[in-house]
Amino acid sequence: MSTSDQSRSQQPDRTRRVIVGIDGSVRSRDALTWAVTEAGLRGAELHAVTAWWVPGGYGDVWMVSPGVDYAAEAGKILDAALVEALGPHEAQLVHRHLVEGNPANALIDLATPQDLIVVGSHGHGGFVGALIGSVSQRVAAHATCPVVIVRHPKEQ
């Protein structure tokens, strides 16, 4: 291997991204912590995704809270998680994605085959005793890139 080949192989591949789903749950914070470390090891960009949607209705009754800005609330959740995990300065370096829609689809649609998606084992929708949530299950089944599902230490 030539010297230029060796130096190229030791350079981090900055075209790859680590994409992490954040919903404000303890498990998504665990996933964020893991993703931060992995992005550093890979020399990859860190992309944090929070998806939101207006709750649906039943028949003619809609379950919408008047005056709630769901996008702003999602942004607060994302910002708080990043600042808690990284501190205010480092949090500013993370690429943020606020997406209206299904969280699994938001992660899958953003990723390319060269990326890595990181999610918690289940988030706010998870029920006690569940080993894997619907978002993590859907991402693992449909993503075109590697997926890491981070379990909370108490689940080990």
Q: Tens of pLDDT along 58-108?
A: 555 555 666 788 899 999 999 999 999 999 999 999 999 999 999 999 999
Show Cβ contacts of residue 76 under 8 Å, excluding neighbours closer than 6 positions: none
Q: How many CA within 13 A on the CB side of residue 102? A: 9
Given a cut of 80, whether residue 124 has pLDDT beyond it is no
| In the chain, % of residues over pLDDT 90 | 62
Residue 134: the pLDDT is 85
Contact, 99 vs 38, CB < 8 A? no
Per the structure block, which two tokens stand in for 9?
């192989």
Identify the residue whose tokens are 């859907």: 138
Q: Is the pTM of this model over 0.85?
A: no
